[in-house]
Amino acid sequence: MLYHVRMDVRLPPDLDPAERADLITREKAYSQKLQRAGKWPQLWRIAGEYANFSILDVADHDELHTLLSGLPLFPYMDIAVTPLAAHPSKVGAGS
> Which positions lie near a second copy, rule CB under 8 A?
1-5, 11-13, 27-28, 31-32, 35-36, 42-50, 52-53, 60-62, 64-65, 68-69, 74-76, 79-91, 95
| Amino acid sitting at position 57 | D
Q: Give the Cα separation of 11 and 4 in Å (integer).
A: 22
Of residues 18 and 90, the one with the C-beta less far from a second copy: 90
Residue 11 CA: distances (Å) to CA of 4, 31, 37, 48, 92: 22, 18, 27, 15, 42
Least separation in angstroms between residue 22's CB and a second copy is: 14
Least separation in angstroms between residue 94's CB and a second copy is: 11
